[in-house]
Amino acid sequence: MTKNILNNSFNTKYNTAPFSKIKDEHYLPAFKKAIKDAKTEIDNIVNNNEAATFKNTIEALDFSGEQLDRISSIFFNLNSAETNKTIQKIAQEVSPLLAEFSNDITLNEELFKRVKTVYDAKNTLNLTTEQETLLDKKYKSFSRNGANLPEDKKQKLREIDKKLSQLKLKFGENVLAETNKFEMLINDEADLAGLPDGAKEAAKQLAESKDKEGWLFTLDYPSYIPFMTYADNRELRKKLSLAAGSKSFKGDKLDNQNNVLDIVKLRHERATLLGYKTHAHFVLEERMAETPEKVQSFLNELLEKAKPAAEREFKNLENFAKDLDKIDHLEKWDGAYYSEKLKQKLFDLDDEKLKPYFKLENVINGVFKVAKKLFDLNFEEINTIDKYHEDVLTYKVTDSKGDLVSIFYADFFPRPGKRNGAWMTSYKPQYIKDEKNSRPHISIVCNFTKPTKTKPSLLTFNEVTTLFHEFGHALHGMLANTTYPSLSGTSVYWDFVELPSQVLENWCYEKEALELFATHYETGEVIPMDLVNKIKESSTFHEGMQTLRQLSFGLLDMSWHAGDSPYTIKSVKAHEEKAFEGTKLYPDVAENCMSTSFSHIFQGGYSSGYYSYKWAEVLDADAFEYFKEKGVFNKTVANKFKENVLSKGGTEKPMILYKRFRGHEPNSEALLKRAGLIKK
């Protein structure tokens, strides 16, 4: 048998993943061997004849399974960004093995005894703050995951975790298959009325790439969003909207209704087995928000402030559509279209005017310049690093002394093997071992408009903020400076993790930042000040409706995970309608269902956590107010943010870190003012 590259340390520069040498058939045997090796490491901790200490138990546990973690990060990152049928099949096979291995650790009585011995003696051990946090985290990873259960319940927990790991994968596979399956081919150019030239050219190119005549539109965002925003043909907007809104809700083999109900029931069963009232109670114990009641009251308080504004905005939009096109009832497929028309009328601003100033390469350089001015980081594109796809860009990140900070991967365009949306991830965490600071490998993945034959990739302003958002997460990963891998980078409470990403979006609206990169791709002209002012003026346009939309997703998430008994839910659609009652603006569409493609909460890690986007907005508005007071590129404030937030990972409780940076707890007034929901 040929040598399996995944079972050896990678003999590559910077220890990066050797993507081109990894074959699909390597994964399963590599996982099995790495699990076996990791089990041996655990056995060595358990069978150590010496008394349990922080070093030989807690620290040893955190550094165990390093090869397994690397294989997992490579495999599951590719399953999101560059998947295929073989990888999906392996994922279904591997996920239960990993769930079982995780249970083997947390349900190992002898191991838990050693952890508990150290935990019980913690006040006598003279630990650093980071060590105390790690000890607390390790102890809770056992106590919160069944270590104190009797044997029969431990077995039940194993069964639940195995089923959940498979159901979540299946959910994601169905959504991806539905996204890839739908195509809308247009043969009559008259049906493209209203669409910008760039969108038409991209659709033509997509059709050609599939040997088709005409213009092809899909559910990938760079294709979907321009059509819904600009296409005059209402019937075709409806067709596309229904396709997007009915993903995995058609009663066929890609339907996710039963998967949703099964996931929710199993999560509830798991939580009650562990002694918690609901899945939300279990999750939120380890969040800044702490309880479902606190989350509900946070969401409802914002809803109270946002709803009157949202209803006013919606009424104005309805009247505008009626005056313009005699539309009696505004439907979901009308929202983006008439919002864009109204925005153009009010601010004389539309994305087509802005896009020439946001060539992708310029925006990438812009975000790098912002990072340099704030945090003294340098980015050098290098082509000596292996990639998993030719579209991926690779960079070496260094500090002002020229020392390596991180390796950075950036993957910007849609393709069939890549799920929709945008995310940041890591191929290798940062940690300090044997006095060596091992630096992280960080990646961001987006779905932006591809270059065409005549135009480079020109971003909408929304895509610009998305790039800054994901790059904010990336900075959190790159600037990590902790001892232990499980506390490094973005390994923080879920409702704190969005602070670095959301705070960085603010620079997209600042003149000093825009002037660094927003230059016309043909003339080199810097973005005119009147456009900068219009961007700022329009930044609160329909903020009430946007806030209501985000709150509706948070409330839907809580309705699935904080209710006493999910067993009584028979219809996914009926349950969802009830959850949306207080936030509804548009008439319901019978064919639509949000939950069946709500990957954030049913596949990703946001279950009982979708509220965290709004929670972090409170933090980011308050944090950015500090920058505004002192200057958006103020080095003192930037250093405080770097030292107390970006480099600290999960080494201390988030509120302690935030207060150390800001000097006080966050105040929601900054967010409400910025959103225009209360007077400044």
Q: Dihedrals φ, ψ of 258, to 5°?
A: -70, -35
Distance of CA 140 to the CA centre of its chain: 25
| pLDDT computed for residue 352 by the predictor | 86
pTM of the model: 0.91
145 vs 157: CA distance, rounded Å: 8
Helix 24-46, helix 85-106: angle, nearest 10: 0
Give residue-wise pLDDT tens across range 39-91: 999 999 999 999 999 999 999 999 999 999 999 999 999 999 999 999 999 99
Q: Do residue 366 and residue 513 come from a single domain?
A: yes
Q: How many CA atoms lie within 13 A of 643 on its CB side?
A: 10
For residue 19, the domain's CATH number is: 1.20.1050.40
Q: Dihedrals φ, ψ of 671, to 5°?
A: -70, -45
Gyration radius from the chain CA atoms: 25
Q: Do residue 575 and residue 433 come from a single domain?
A: no
Please give the mean pLDDT across all residues of the chain: 95
Count of domains for the chain: 4
Q: Locate all alpha helices (DSSP H) within 274-399, ordered by sequence.
A: 279-284, 292-325, 332-347, 351-354, 360-375
* Residues 273-299 as b or e (16 or more Cβ within 10 Å = b): bbebebbbbbbbeebbbeebeebbebb
User: Which of 499, 526, 553 delimits the end of a domain?
Assistant: 526
Q: Which residues contact 523 (CB under 8 A, 6 or more apart)?
A: none
How many CB atoms within 10 Å of residue 631? 12
User: Which of 144, 169, 203 delimits the end of a domain?
Assistant: 144
667 pLDDT band (50/70/90 cuts)? confident
- DSSP code of 241? H
- Residue 252: inside a domain, yes or no? no
* pLDDT, average across residues 329-341: 97
264 vs 270: CA distance, rounded Å: 10
* pLDDT, average across residues 448-456: 92
Q: Do residue 601 and residue 656 come from a single domain?
A: yes
For residue 442, the domain's CATH number is: 1.10.1370.40
Q: Dihedrals φ, ψ of 597, to 5°?
A: -130, 20
| pLDDT computed for residue 2 by the predictor | 60
Q: Find the Cα–Cα–Cα–Cα dihedral 135, 138, 144, 150, rounded to 10°.
A: -110
* pLDDT, average across residues 167-176: 96
* 31 burial type by CB count under 10 A (0-12 exposed, 13-18 middle, 19+ buried): buried
Closest alpha carbon to 382 in 369, 372, 397, 367: 397
Q: Do residue 483 and residue 553 come from a single domain?
A: no
- The kind and range of the H/E element at 186 are strand 184-186
* pLDDT, average across residues 231-242: 98
- DSSP code of 441? E
Domain that holds residue 217: 182-245
Q: Do residue 572 and residue 676 come from a single domain?
A: yes
Residue 15's region, left for phi above 0, alpha for psi from -120 to 50, else beta, is left
For residue 582, the domain's CATH number is: 1.10.1370.10
Closest alpha carbon to 261 in 602, 579, 631, 589: 602
- Residue 158: inside a domain, yes or no? no
For the chain, the maximum distance between any two Cα atoms, rounded to a whole number of angstroms, is: 82
Give residue-wise pLDDT tens across range 574-592: 999 999 999 999 999 999 9
570 pLDDT band (50/70/90 cuts)? very high
* pLDDT, average across residues 116-130: 97
Q: Do residue 449 and residue 361 come from a single domain?
A: yes
Q: Do residue 41 and residue 76 come from a single domain?
A: yes
258: which 2 tokens?
A: 């039963």
Q: Do residue 422 and residue 319 come from a single domain?
A: no
Sheet with 441-445, side-by-side order of all strands: 378-381, 393-398, 404-411, 441-445, 423-428
Give residue-wise pLDDT tens across range 88-115: 999 999 999 999 999 999 999 999 999 9
465: which 2 tokens?
A: 């903020």
605 vs 612: CA distance, rounded Å: 11
- Residue 115: inside a domain, yes or no? yes
117: which 2 tokens?
A: 């011995």
Q: Dihedrals φ, ψ of 426, to 5°?
A: -135, 140
Q: Three-class SS of residue 307?
A: helix
Tell me how many degrees the CA angle 603-607-609 measures, rounded to the nearest 5: 130
619 vs 398: CA distance, rounded Å: 28
* 211 burial type by CB count under 10 A (0-12 exposed, 13-18 middle, 19+ buried): exposed
The residue behind tokens 């590559």 is 12
**Pair 250, 599: CB distance under 8 Å:** no
How many CB atoms within 10 Å of residue 76? 18
| pLDDT computed for residue 680 by the predictor | 61
Q: Do residue 463 and residue 515 come from a single domain?
A: yes
Catalytic residue among 173, 470, 510, 625: 470
The residue behind tokens 């002012």 is 533
- Residue 167: inside a domain, yes or no? no
343 vs 542: CA distance, rounded Å: 9
**Pair 513, 347: CB distance under 8 Å:** no
**Pair 514, 633: CB distance under 8 Å:** no
Q: Dihedrals φ, ψ of 375, to 5°?
A: -125, 10
**Pair 666, 622: CB distance under 8 Å:** yes
- Residue 267: inside a domain, yes or no? no
- DSSP code of 564? S
Q: Do residue 189 and residue 234 come from a single domain?
A: yes
| pLDDT computed for residue 351 by the predictor | 83
- Residue 419: inside a domain, yes or no? yes
* pLDDT, average across residues 479-490: 98
Q: Do residue 26 and residue 75 come from a single domain?
A: yes
Is the per-residue pLDDT at 157 higher than 70? yes
Residue 504's region, left for phi above 0, alpha for psi from -120 to 50, else beta, is alpha
1 pLDDT band (50/70/90 cuts)? very low
Annotated catalytic residue 470: yes
274 vs 158: CA distance, rounded Å: 12
Distance of CA 157 to the CA centre of its chain: 28
Closest alpha carbon to 73 in 134, 10, 158, 2: 10
Q: Do residue 399 and residue 500 come from a single domain?
A: yes
- Residue 170: inside a domain, yes or no? no
User: Which of 199, 228, 245 delimits the end of a domain?
Assistant: 245
356 vs 522: CA distance, rounded Å: 8
Start-to-end CA distance of the chain, whole Å, equals 69
295 or 679, which is more confident? 295
595: which 2 tokens?
A: 């939950």
460 vs 228: CA distance, rounded Å: 14
The residue behind tokens 């009559």 is 188
- Residue 258: inside a domain, yes or no? no
Q: How many CA atoms lie within 13 A of 304 on its CB side?
A: 6
| pLDDT computed for residue 94 by the predictor | 96
Q: Which residues contact 122 (CB under 8 A, 6 or more apart)?
A: 132, 135
